[in-house]
Amino acid sequence: MEDEVDRLVAAWRRERPDLDVEPLEVLSRVSRLARHLDRARRLAFSEHQLEPWEFDVLTALRRAGTPYQLSPGQLLTQTLVTSGTMTNRIDRLAKKGLVERLPDPSDRRGVLVRLTDEGRDRADQSLAGLLAQERAILGELSRAQRSELAALLRQLTAPFDNIPG
């Protein structure tokens, strides 16, 4: 089945036959798919009265395991936002009672963000919802294809995740 990127690539080949636009076949699809996923996630989370950004922060803390706390800096690397954004997110989640800020006992510059009990429940509930939705989207692919796809994507993400930039 044809998608929007097929049309996009065909158009470039007509308009700029001098250029090799093959990279777009992969990376434009990644960008567009991510955009579709954002929209789908927004819808899925609205049933739990949760925004995607709230989910990202709460689940990062949930994954950390007891006592469910991380520094703002650790949250930055997991969520790929800037520090100003993270300060703002923590403020709002704290106001809603889903996280709390504690001083870091071992570094007085530092802060620890800890999940409250309610925050933990919300994280657990919405993760289940997200997985259900993602499974539906991936229904197109066989198990073997999914693992093939994951492996190829890992090759592209690893440099970004390991050489900080």
Partner DNA sequence: CCACACTGTCTCGACGTCAAGAGAGTCGAC
Partner DNA sequence: GTCGACTCTCTTGACGTCGAGACAGTGTGG
Q: Is 76 in the site for a copy of itself (CB under 8 A)?
A: no
Site string for DNA, 61-100 (x = CB under 7 A): ----------xxx--x---xxxxxxxxxxxxx--------
Size, binding site for DNA by CB under 7 A:
28
- Least distance from DNA to the Cβ atom of residue 84, Å: 2
- Pick the closest to residue 99 from 108, 110, 109, 89 (CA basis): 89
Which residue(s) pair with 103 in the sheet? 111
**Structural contact between residues 14 and 6, judged by C-beta atoms closer than 8 angstroms:** no
- Pick the closest to residue 41 from 29, 30, 53 (CA basis): 53
d(CA 26, CA 95): 41
Interface with a copy of itself in residues 33-52 (CB under 8 A): 33-38
**Structural contact between residues 87 and 72, judged by C-beta atoms closer than 8 angstroms:** yes
User: Which residues are near a copy of itself by CB under 8 A?
Assistant: 1-6, 8, 11-12, 14-16, 19-27, 29-38, 62-65, 77-78, 80, 124, 127-128, 131, 134-135, 137-138, 140-141, 145-150, 152-162
